[in-house]
Structures are given as structure tokens and as C-alpha cells.
Structure 1
Amino acid sequence: MLAAPAGAALAGAAPAGAARQVTPIAPGVVYERFDIPAARGTARAHLLGVDLREPRVRLDLLYPGAVAARAPLSRQAAARGAVAGVNGDFFNIGEAQHPGVEATGASVGPAVARGRALKGAVPDGQRFGPALPPGTGTRAVFGVGVDRRARLGALRLSGSVRTPEGRLPLRGLNQYALPVGSVGAFTAAWGSASRVRATCGTDTDRAAPCSADTFEVTVRRGRVASTARTPGTGPIARGTTVLVGREKGARLLRRFFVGEPVAVRHRLVPASSRVPYRFALGGCPVLDDGRPLPGLDDRVSAVRTAVGVADGGRRLLLLALDGAPAYRSGLTVAEVASLMRDLGARDAFGLDGGGSSTLVAREPGAAAVSVRNHPSGGAERPVPNGIGVFSAR
């Protein structure tokens, strides 16, 4: 637990006793900085308070224009005109276990931008990042619905591949890892990274060898345009879908022939809400209805990023810790959950931390955002996505 006094803190304010530096960013958006006495030293918090009751404020996904790509958060925010933001989901950062295989940089969980499904979740065993709390998985998301309310939930992929001979289930969408025995779809949103990584590892072992039984089918304008024995690389044209199969999925795709009509359908379906997400990204739930999830790590302290939901989804708390040497001890995941509760959140969601933790916001009068915390690597790490805060002036 935090050494700072727990209890009812003002919505969006620092815990009791912490010195505050508060800066308005835009209508409904405030930036704060404060220090937190924690188990392993003082941590410095950078916090954005976002009031979704302000009609000029909205949230959306920041990403570099492709799922399999990375860029500094400040560059992503500047390209979209965001007034503030934090980094997002954990991602495929390295492939030491698979020599010669390219790390894609793609994120772990589902992603939705401007109401459009960008990608599905990789199998739980293929996840990068700290251990998930019991009962959670890679389908977990934080997002904002079309009703302008923020919520935590889960998104599952619903999709199919139809031919005159029948229908195949689709079990992947722009993912760096496909379930064993499955067929996945890659669209123009994927980018130009190699699709080989999608056939490496298993559902329970990220380091397992790449599959030797693969096949790829390119569908253009509703018909099979070409086939290949192994997954390819390079950009995918708009209106084109590349189907990648492994094991049983590969054997099914080998039945396809050039010129055959094919219809590929896919959507992300909320698991516990009928309200579609306008924006969503993956991560790790840490606080549920004011209670930290069981099994949260309380031993490893680190620089971390998180988002909290308050006031029935109408107010958000976007947190990034400072990575400067004086504060690099950071917080444990359990301490982050307690801090978000003390700040007034009822639910909270952990995002990628360490060298990825970044919070950006505009200085008063500035045209673009600047980095407010100190990234622990000394400079911004390129990341695949983030939460962008936008304000219509």
C-alpha cells in the first residue's frame, strides 16, 4: 500500500498531503504533478484529469497509421492535433526466441479507432508485459463508448471467411500472433511488417518455435488473387485482405484456388455491454468497482502508466509516473491500484510502463504537446498506440 494517507481524495486531485502543481490544458482537461511516498521511495506522478461532460472534449486512439508500427507519443499526438495523452498497450517489442523473425511492434490487445476495429487480441500466452491478474485476459480493454462514457470491458473477435464450399471461422485480425490451428486476416491497417511472426509460438508459450505448416491467401475485390506457402511482407492495398493460416488453418486455406469468390467479415463485439466502443485499447485491469483485483503484484516497483474511470464513466484520470533517476523506483501494480482509488477512480486499467511511460500535454499557449514526465530511458520510446485527448476550441 502507499505510504501516503489513503481515503477520499477530491476528484482529480493529488492524495492528501501531496503538494500539487495544477495547470489547465483545455476546457475540461487539467494537468497535475505531485510526489507520492511509496514503499521503495518517492514516486512522482503526472496526472491528466479529463471531464467528458465537457462537450468539447473527446478521447480517441493515437497510433502511427498502422498497427505494426511505432512512433514517439508526442509525434502521434502532434499528427492528430491532440492536446494531451498517455502511452497505451503493451506490445511485441522483441523476438530473441525466434532468430530471423522481425518484431512487429504491434500491440497485444484489441484496438478501436474512430469506431473502426483495427485489431483483435493475441492469445493470452503470447502476451508481452507483467502477469495478468487471475480471471483476466488479453481481450480486456479500456475505452469510450458512442454514449461518451468511459468503461472497462472486453472485446472478442467475431468473424468468418465464406466461400461457395462453406464458412471458416476467423480467429485473428491484424495480430502479431494467431491461435494454433487458426486462420487470421490482415488488412491495409496492419502496415508493411512481415506476417511470419503471426505463426510463431503457441497459445500458451510465446517462445515456442514458429510453425512449419503455414499458408497465405490474398483476397482482392472479393476473389482469391494469389496464394503462397509462407506468410509474406510489405503493405497491403486497400480493398485487399490477406488470410494467413497455421496448422489446420493452413490446410483449410490450401483448398482455395485463384479466382474463387471469398467474403471476409469481422467485427469486435463487447463482452458485457451493448454500447459499441468508439475508441478502445488493451491493457490490464487493476481496479474493479473500487476494489483492487486479487493477485496484483505488490513486490516489483517500476515506472508505470494507468487510466482510471470515475463518476460513472464521465471523468478520467490518466496517470504516468516519472522515470527520472530520483523517482525511478516507481510503484508496484498494487500501489497503482490503490493510488487510482485514492484519486477517486472506481475502475482502473494498467498500461505499458517502464521506458514506454509517457505523458504529453500542451503548455499554455503552445501549438503542440510536450513531454511532461521524464521517460526512464532518457528519451521517448516509440510505442504502437496511446490515449489521445482532443479539445474542440
Structure 2
Amino acid sequence: MRTRLPRIAGLVLVCALLAAPPAPVSGASADRLEPPARPDGLSQPEQRLSQARFPQTSDRVRGAVAAPMSPLVRRLSTRVGPSSKRVVSPGVTYTTWSQTDARGPIRAHLLAVDLSTPGLRLDYASAGAVRRTDQVSDIIARDRAVAGVNGDFFDIGDTGAPLGLGQDRQRGLLHAPRGGWNSAFWLDKAGRPDIGYLPLKAAVRFRPHLRITNVNSPEVRPGGIGVYTPAWGASAGYRWTGGQTKTVRMVRVVNGRVVETKNKLPSNTVIRGFLLVGRGEGARRLAGLAKGARVDVEGWLQGRPQVAITGNKFLIRNGVFEVINDREMHPRTAIGIDRDTGEVLLLAIDGRQSFSRGYTMVELAEMMQDLGADEALNLDGGGSTTMVARRANGTIGVVNSPSDGAERLVANALEVTYTAP
């Protein structure tokens, strides 16, 4: 496994000019110009996180605004400080370093994961129920993982559920929207890593008029139909419909048959069988299902990956920058793929602290590219940014500096497990 440090020290002028992406648009217009991952049909939690004012993190804290500066000036002013590197397990190395540029200091943390290592696996991890939150260290401890980072954006302060999709090796598909928050990292059937747009495929067999828009999502899309299974946890009532109480319907299905249908939504109850929850047109269509009706729901992710998790924006696609926001600085978590080595790169940038200001989206993309990523995805940041790994003394714990002063409760994580072959 090669040594990984950002390839920026000592760049000459020509190299900096060639490597630098187009200069970002300054001011608030930069936020307006950067498109959301896929804006069609966003639920209210997704809309809140896609608004120009709060496009960056689940906590929706307004980040410090970076001084306008060209990528060339930033790169030429960058000085990399001391670094340290150690082996976490066979196939996994952890590297940390500090660096300073004209905008100020940052501290970075990198896990490089070689998935070709026998016994090494990358997996989706959570606290159990989809809507349950926990600290990253406790989430990955359940599987005795050797390392991990926080994952998707989530409905913080309300249901706690992730906004996007989650596919677990053991438990299968846990949650997903049909579209709108589907920018994902995944491992395909053969275990190969990929980053791209990953839609949900879902249908009610022999009932094409019943269009499934969500599986275990914080909210059902307006006019849509959501599926809620026991994996969700306790029912969320009208939070599933964004507070809408009229023109809503719940249909309960047990052993493939409708056993209950009503226009009130259950709250804080155990889900037995599964529920179909409709709002607006979706509710009107569900009203046609009578007790005893046969209902079979199928749901899967395109390509049927082994593992999948979403973030909000692609940083790099096929070697090309996908972000333009060079204004808001936050703690950041990102995942990338080095196509040359096949390694998966997990990066955490500390922020909102005196020793580390955090990164803009453009800076994050630049760093991932410098580290060798050909594809990269932004995961949840802010106070959620957490990296856990086996430390030098053999214990497993947090290796970065979460900006809240302690680990935040988050919805899910990506974990690295190792079992000696």
C-alpha cells in the first residue's frame, strides 16, 4: 500500500495551473448555482437540506465563510506539517496530518482500505432500527469493526432516519427513496466499489397504479406511497406525512394480505407485517385496497449491490470536479475510490476549531483528488464528522476531533471489519 499524503507540496506554477479547477463563483450566487444531487420530488427533510442557505450538513449550522481566493493561490500557499501513519489491520492504514494555507490550518484523517485483502470487508452499519441513532464508536462496535466513519445525512431532531438509501450485507435493503437523494457509494455483486446515482426499484405486484416512492424514509413524498417495515422501528405517525393529517391513509399487510386500512396514522407502535402509507394521490389510490386483498411488494436497488450508502453531492466523477461551492467551511467526511490501486479512501477533516477551520466543498474535492481519488462523494459533515479506528495502544476509539466536543448521535456509518482468514 503506497504512502498517501496530499500531492501539493512544492508544486510549480505550471502544475498548479493544470491541476486547479475553474475558479468558483464568489458570494451567495455560488450556493445558488450548485445543483442538488437530484431535486425532483424531494421530501421536506431533503428540501430543508437542499436549500441554498443550508446545503452542507445535517445540523444545518451556517458555516464560516472562506475568504475569496483562487485555487492557485491556495495551493501555492499550502504547507504540509508533520504526519503520522500506522497500520490499523491488514489492508487498512490510518494517516493523519496538519497543513496550513492562506485561509488557515486544517487537520486531516485518512483511512486507506485495500478491499483485495483476504478477510477485510466494508459494510453498512447502524444502531439497529432505521430511525435509531447512536455514536459511530458504538455503532461499529456491534460488529467488532476495526475502523469506520459516519455516513449519510439524516433527519436530525425529528425521526432520526437517514435521508437516502442503505443496503446492508446481512439485512439487505433497509431504507431508500425512489429518487432525489440517491448519490451513493456501493459495492456491486462482485464486491467492486463504485460511486454514482443509485435508484430504488419498487413495485406492488400486479398493481401498477400503486407507485412506491419510499422505503423506510423520514417522509413519504407528496402524492406518493411509502413502505414501512419492522426494520424502521416504532411508527412515526403524521411525521411520515410532514404533518399532513388530511388525505392520508395507512394500509397494514400481514402475510401478504391487507388486515387493516384507515385514514389515521399510528404513532409509536410496533410495526407488524408492513405498512403502506399514502398522502394525497397516494392515499386515494390506497383507498381501493379492501381487507383481505392480496398485496406483494418488491423492492431492491438497481444492480442489487451488496452494500450501499448515500451522501448529498458527488465531489468527483470520472476524474472531473462536480462541486463549485468554495464558500462555506465545515468539518467534512468523504469517501473516494482510487481506480489505479482499487483502494477505498475514507477522509475526515476536522473543523469549527482553532487548529482546523474545516473545508469548503471545492477544497474537499481537491484534497480527494490529491490523495488519488477518481470518484468521490461527500458524506454528512459538521458535528457528525467522526472517524473511529484502532489506535496505537490497541484500543478502538475516535481518532479525529468532533466539532461538538464529543461524538454526535448519527443515523448510520461505514465500517471496516477484519477476520483473519
Fold shared by both chains (TM-score > 0.5) = yes
CA apart distance, 1:370 = 0.2
CA apart distance, 1:302 = 1.1
1:189–1:24 Cα change, 3 Å? same
* Cα distance in 2, alignment partners of residues 354 and 3 from structure 1: 25
Is residue 122–residue 179 contact of structure 1 (8 Å, CA) maintained in 2?
no
The question of 1:112 aligning with 2:155 is answered no
The question of 1:287 aligning with 2:316 is answered yes
Q: 1:372 aligns with which of 399, 408, 411?
A: 399
Letter of the 1:285 partner, please give it: F
Aligned to 1:350: 378
1:257–1:369 Cα change, 3 Å? same
Aligned to 1:315: 343
Letter of the 2:250 partner, please give it: E
CA apart distance, 1:234 = 3.3
Is residue 211–residue 247 contact of structure 1 (8 Å, CA) maintained in 2?
no
* Cα distance in 2, alignment partners of residues 73 and 287 from structure 1: 26
Count of residue pairs the alignment pairs up: 349
The question of 1:170 aligning with 2:212 is answered yes
Is residue 79–residue 101 contact of structure 2 (8 Å, CA) maintained in 1?
no
CA apart distance, 1:301 = 1.0
Per-residue CA distance 1:23-70 (angstroms, 9 max, x = gap): 111000011110122453111001111111212211000101111111
Letter of the 2:268 partner, please give it: G
Q: 1:326 aligns with which of 339, 342, 354?
A: 354
Letter of the 2:88 partner, please give it: I
The question of 1:50 aligning with 2:93 is answered no
Aligned to 1:121: 177
Is residue 47–residue 320 contact of structure 1 (8 Å, CA) maintained in 2?
yes
Aligned to 1:216: 250
* Cα distance in 2, alignment partners of residues 171 and 327 from structure 1: 44
Per-residue CA distance 1:332-360 (angstroms, 9 max, x = gap): 01000000100111111101111000000
Is residue 171–residue 184 contact of structure 1 (8 Å, CA) maintained in 2?
yes
Is residue 183–residue 198 contact of structure 2 (8 Å, CA) maintained in 1?
yes
* Cα distance in 1, alignment partners of residues 411 and 178 from structure 2: 15
Aligned to 1:135: none
The question of 1:389 aligning with 2:413 is answered no
CA apart distance, 1:290 = 2.1
Aligned to 1:299: 327
Identity across the alignment (%): 36
1:55–1:261 Cα change, 3 Å? same
Secondary structure of residue in 2 paired with 1:250: helix
**RMSD across aligned positions (CA):** 2.5
Aligned to 2:229: 187
Consecutive unaligned residues of structure 2, counting only runs of 5 or more, are 1-5, 17-77
Is residue 178–residue 200 contact of structure 2 (8 Å, CA) maintained in 1?
no
* Cα distance in 2, alignment partners of residues 50 and 210 from structure 1: 45
Q: 1:363 aligns with which of 380, 391, 395?
A: 391
Per-residue CA distance 1:180-215 (angstroms, 9 max, x = gap): 211111111111141422212xxxxxxxx6352100
Consecutive unaligned residues of structure 1, counting only runs of 5 or more, are 9-14, 95-102, 125-137, 201-208, 271-275
1:38–1:331 Cα change, 3 Å? farther
Per-residue CA distance 1:146-201 (angstroms, 9 max, x = gap): 322211022212222246x775221211111222211111111111141422212x
* Cα distance in 2, alignment partners of residues 260 and 20 from structure 1: 64
* Cα distance in 2, alignment partners of residues 4 and 300 from structure 1: 24
* Cα distance in 2, alignment partners of residues 66 and 312 from structure 1: 37
Is residue 81–residue 390 contact of structure 1 (8 Å, CA) maintained in 2?
yes
* Cα distance in 1, alignment partners of residues 82 and 356 from structure 2: 19
TM-score (norm 2): 0.77
CA apart distance, 1:257 = 1.9
Matches within 5 A, 1:250-261: 250-261=283-294
Letter of the 2:163 partner, please give it: V
Is residue 182–residue 249 contact of structure 1 (8 Å, CA) maintained in 2?
yes
TM-score (norm 1): 0.83
Letter of the 2:297 partner, please give it: V
Is residue 249–residue 277 contact of structure 2 (8 Å, CA) maintained in 1?
yes
